[in-house]
Structure 1
Amino acid sequence: MKRIFGLSLATCALAAAAFAGSHANPALEGAVKARNAQMSVIAYHTGLLGGMAKGDVPYDAATAVAAAENLASAAAMKRAVLWIEGTEQGAVAGSRAKAEIWSDADGFEEKAVALEAASSAMITAAGTDLDALRAAMADVGGSCGACHKAYRGPKN
């Protein structure tokens, strides 16, 4: 067997195929990067609101409303361009999406809509007072947790 730089042609071919397979579809990779960014935006604003709810960050109605508006906008992003079949964990680098997102599309959609509703309700609650913000955080946190439990895989 012919050797290149100490490696067999078979080894080189397998390495090339693995590299090509992992970079075969930039659109799928882009979708995973975009939804990871979406989750980062959601986490940032949820963290800010949660910090206020816990008393770690001083409550400020204007800041809370701004964070809630951004949270609601991020939660309402169109899933059809972010959650593309074939981007489950193991298929595309950086994905933690379980295959159940597509095999249980109705359940996934239900949980996504719950986050949208909780995030929208947070806008009014955030500007009302600290007690209202705290109450709304339970719905936001619950909707995030329910989706992650059912549809997010473990960290790699």
Structure 2
Amino acid sequence: MRLFIFATAALTALTMGAHADPLADRKANMKERGSLLRVLGPVAQGRADFETATVLDALEKLNANAQAAIDVDALYPEGTESGDTKVKATVWSDRDGFKKANDDYTAKVAAAVEAQPQDLESFKAAFAPIAASCGGCHEVYRN
């Protein structure tokens, strides 16, 4: 019984702490996303060599990152639209559109992982929708 109580308390603490600072959490998520895209983008543009293991690893990490940011309401709650942030007010005024853009991005990353690209051409085909999704979202929802 003590173990159950301890486990419940630990899970509650972890859950509550997961989005204790949504602004910091989403900034950290986007910084990680950006660092992974700085690995993948140059490969897709032909400025870096295609290495299967590197690309697959970065795609897996990008997928984990996308899954971590799937709860838009937790990462972008009302009251976090000001301060040290680059998001536009449209994140809140077009909430459904923003959620759809996030879901679209998450699906495209998952599809790229599922494709398991083994050469440059298959990687470019899998990565192009991700890049387009990022750009489209930034145009509407980011300053």
Using structure 1 for the length normalisation, give the TM-score. 0.72
Task: Structure 2: state its 5+ residue gaps.
Answer: 1-18
| 8 Å CA contact retained: 2:101, 2:133 | yes
Larger Rg, first or second structure (1 or 2):
1
Counterpart among 89, 110, 117 of residue 107 in structure 2: 117
How far the C-alpha of 1:130 sits from its partner, in A, is: 1.0
CA distance in 2, matches of 1:135, 1:116: 16
CA distance in 2, matches of 1:56, 1:128: 18
Counterpart among 132, 143, 147 of residue 137 in structure 2: 147
- Structure whose residues are more often helix by fraction: 2
| 8 Å CA contact retained: 2:63, 2:106 | yes
CA distance in 2, matches of 1:124, 1:29: 32
User: Match of 2:52, as an amino acid?
Assistant: A
Runs (4+) of structure 1 exceeding 3 A deviation are 124-127
When residues 53 and 125 of structure 1 are mapped into structure 2, their CA distance, relative to the original with a 3 A threshold, is: farther
| 8 Å CA contact retained: 2:87, 2:141 | yes
| 8 Å CA contact retained: 1:38, 1:74 | yes
The sequence identity of aligned pairs, in percent, is: 33
Task: Structure 1: state its 5+ residue gaps.
Answer: 1-27
Matches within 5 A, 1:1-156: 30-77=21-68, 78-88=71-81, 91-92=82-83, 94-153=84-143
Q: What is the aligned length?
A: 124
Report the aligned-residue RMSD: 2.0
